[in-house]
A and B are shown apart, each in its own frame.
Chain A
Amino acid sequence: MMQNSEIVDERILSLLREGGSHAESGFRLLMEQYQERLYWQIRRMVLDHEDANDVLQNCLVKVFRSSHTFEGKSKLYTWLYRIATNEAITFLNKKKQRQATPLDAGESPLANRLRADDHFDGDEAQRKLMSAIETLPDKQRQVFNLRYFDEMSYAEMSELLGTSEGALKASFHHAVKKIEGFVGRYD
């Protein structure tokens, strides 16, 4: 029996394939269903709201323009997540080229940036957590975010990232140790 989310996915894809005003309705339904999940996924990667907004809009535009290429071999969210992640990684790589971020020079520039960010009201501990997460490699950061914030099961993550459950468990374990180590050094 199909789950509710699968029925909605079918409806979205059906409307998108019909084109014209139906495609627009389908796209609105898609955004209603997934925009917040995608936003937070991207936001935890790029951290800044303005950056997350740019990346998410680019991602959604790409989704609309290439919706006809979705073959239905995976879940709709898996496809959306991959597009969003690729878009965020591309953005981060470009940003890294523009500015070199020292990873081991006391409090990272990210902590200062978050302090000045109008869309971040966390305390020092949360700024420290974000700074620690930023030191993780991109793939490991994805694993950590999916597990720690979204509490996604390893089976779902495996389908999403195309990595074995064992490798994902090991990656998360190492990420946790790195973050604890980072926080311990600057306490």
Chain B
Amino acid sequence: MPVDVREATKSIAIPRLGASGHDRPPRLNANDGRLRTLQEGSPPPSSTAIWVGIAAISMTFAALTSAMIVRQGSGMDWQRLSLPNILFLNTVILIASSVTLEMFRHKWSPAGKAPAPSDPTTLWLYVTVVLGVFFVAGQYIAWKKLQAEGLYLASNPSSSFFYLLTAAHAVHVLGGLGGLLYIAARLRRATLYTSTLNVATKYWHFMDVLWVYLLVLLWAKL
């Protein structure tokens, strides 16, 4: 069992010396950083890491957004695209999947007690996965609809960006689905950490936020 270092070291007081050593008298202050160190209750690294991941993905889509805006202004050949209606249904499905995921996570007690594999609460997790699959399938249907209208990747810059942005998002959703399946597998073996579940959930909700942003962008700009 790992030692609970927090308990073991609670009693040690740490005097703080001037950072450059010589030009200030020592002050008695436990720490001067805003964030706490590991043994003083810092957040689990995965909760920092998910924000790092979200930042990176956001930058990627920001780059694609600016590419789209510049491209729209550069050539005279932009033809407005009408979005397939199924996209709106897909949006509802994706948001619903976030709701079901939260319903699963909410039942998860912070004290570390999890539902037994046979508990009906675990159903919400599987519903989330199914809804996620429906979302991706629905995106595929949207692409098929555009193709039926003769709009392919290279047909027009507007269709290029439509396929590019929705495909990039769908790829990340598939990654998120992989994460949810991993959660499910860990759950069945009763080795799921709270931090892992929180990371997967944050990521999944981010997929929602990203999709809504993309939908608004496509609707307004395309």
- Chain B binds chain A: no
| Residues of chain B whose beta carbon lies under 8 Å from any beta carbon of chain A | none
| Residues of chain A whose beta carbon lies under 8 Å from any beta carbon of chain B | none
